Structure 1
Amino acid sequence: MKKYLIPIGVLAGIIIIAAIIIAPRYNTLVNLDEEVNQQEAGIDTQLQRRNDLIPNLVSTVEGYASHEQEIFTEVAEARSQVAGANTVEEMSEANDQMNSALSRLLAVAEAYPDLQASEQFTGLRDELAGAENRIAVARQDYNTAVGEYNRNTRTFPGNMIAELFGFADKPYFEADESANEVPSVDFNSDDDDS
Structure 2
Amino acid sequence: MPRLAAGDRREALVEAALRVMGRDGLAAGTTRAVVAEAGMSLASFHYVFASRDELLAELVRRVVGRELATATAALDAAAIDPAAGPADCLRAAARGYLGHLEADPGAEQLMLELTLHAVREPDLRPVAREQYRAYAAAAAALLERAAARTGARWRGPLAEPARVLVTLVDGATTTWLVDRDTAATRATLDAAVDLLVARYAVVPA
TM over 0.5: no
TM-score, structure 2 as length reference: 0.30
Decide which structure has the larger Cα Rg and report it. Answer: 1
TM-score normalised according to structure 1 size: 0.31
Structure scoring higher RCO (CA < 8 A, sep ≥ 6) equals: 1
